Amino acid sequence: MLVGLDQHDALLRLRGSKIGLLAHPASVDRSLRHVSEVLEGLGLRPSIIFGPEHGYGGEAQDMITVADARDRNGVTVRSLYGDAFEDLVPKRADLDGLDVLLVDMQDVGARYYTFIWTAVLAARVARDAGVRVVILDRPNPLGGIEIEGALPVSPLYLSFVGLEPLPIRHGLTLGEVVLWRAKVEGFPEGLVTVVPVQGLDRAAEAPAWDRPFVMPSPNMPTYETAQVYPGGCLLEGTNLSDGRGTTRPFEITGAPWVDGERLARDLNGLGLPGFVARPLTFLPTFHKHRALACGGVQVHVRGPDFRPVATYVALIALAQRQDPARFAFRTERYEFRDDVPAIDLLLGGPATREAILAGEAVRDIAETASQIPAENRAEVLAARQNWSINKNGS
């Protein structure tokens, strides 16, 4: 399998162009050389570099403002993650004089992982500036077949963790998402070019890539993290630990008041497929419940039929049921929004939160949250057929 960055012939076509680069730590070739090193070896040097959430170097934790910097060659590294939503978008002046914006970032296949939206926002500014966009594509570590999770129910629930209507687990690559938006939004023909992955089996997940999984953000260290993330990120909308401050973020969750044995027993007893919840205690070293002993579970994926959205919605509902007085949905500002609960932004609407608080049957809540309405499913599958540029092949 060759990702976009492995295909030097496509990069050599950029010789003589003034290039801007949008990248992060996982922008590496099959030899684990960073895109900056690859470009330099080909005689290409960006005039400006852009870094997404967590920074170009990937040092920053979630929702931490990143400052501008310079790389080892003295090139300006412009942060696209500041204090306000407006800071997520490149300034028009930063694109002045550029011929090409080169984008190379590893996504993990969930609507709320923000790199796809950073790429879309950057492409829009490039369009307005008349700058071509070339995306060096990478495969989706969750494969390109399964989808899960309802689309946002209205524009009120669109945000940086879901800027446009996609299922939570969407089955697309970053390049395919940007192409989809370019078509829907009427970009000039040819303004966005994607260098597709060669030799990709769309059903294949990261273990079949024959290359290491490189962490694209501080709390996405492994493929196993990516597997649970379409459900595990929902923990951010609650006062349950999302496993930050442990060695298994998103797989481990709980709180000081959680009975882990009861939670594991109840979750395993629902009959949802593809996982085992194992009770444990843990002590987060930072983030929620720092230095407090927590009871909880670790979710171990055990089969291809695992449905992360259904599993974690059920987990959250069961934790709320254990102690409604101490469980809480997050109310503070989340990804530049303070007018909608974080869990509603993540799930695309209030129905799941309301059903949990109303005490509805946990399995029913989980199934409803994970299902894609028939009309939306048909639309998503049709879009994937149209924009799936990363075909099977050699």
- The pTM for the full model equals 0.95
Residues 6+ apart with CB under 8 A from 152: 158, 162, 165, 348, 349
Which pLDDT belongs to residue 393?
A: 41
In angstroms, the CA 24 to CA 219 distance is: 14
pLDDT tier, 63 (very low <50, low <70, confident <90, very high otherwise): confident
Q: What are the structure tokens assigned to 34, written together? A: 């960073």
Distance (Å) of CA 70 to CA 50, 57, 67, 86, 379: 10, 11, 10, 21, 43
Which pLDDT belongs to residue 1?
A: 93
Which pLDDT belongs to residue 46?
A: 97
Please give the DSSP secondary-structure letter assigned to residue 150: P
Segment 15-22 mean pLDDT: 97
Looking at the predicted structure, is the pLDDT value of residue 394 above 70? no
Residues 6+ apart with CB under 8 A from 284: 241, 243, 244, 245, 246, 290, 291, 292, 294
pLDDT tier, 200 (very low <50, low <70, confident <90, very high otherwise): confident
Looking at the predicted structure, is the pLDDT value of residue 179 above 80? yes
**Can you say how many angstroms the Cα of residue 177 is from the centroid of all Cα atoms in its chain?**
12
Segment 16-34 mean pLDDT: 98
Question: Residues 77-103: pLDDT tens digits?
Answer: 999 999 999 999 999 999 999 999 999
**Helical segments of 168-322, H only:** 174-184, 223-232, 260-268, 308-322
What three-state secondary structure class fits 298?
Answer: strand
Return the beta strands (E) in the chain as ranges: 19-23, 48-51, 69-70, 76-79, 100-104, 132-136, 192-195, 252-255, 275-282, 294-301
- What strand order describes the sheet that includes 275-282? 252-255, 294-301, 275-282
Go through the domains of the chain in sequence order and give each one's CATH number: 4-138+173-208 (3.40.50.12170), 223-370 (3.90.1150.140)
pLDDT tier, 380 (very low <50, low <70, confident <90, very high otherwise): confident
49 in Cβ contact with 21 (< 8 Å): yes
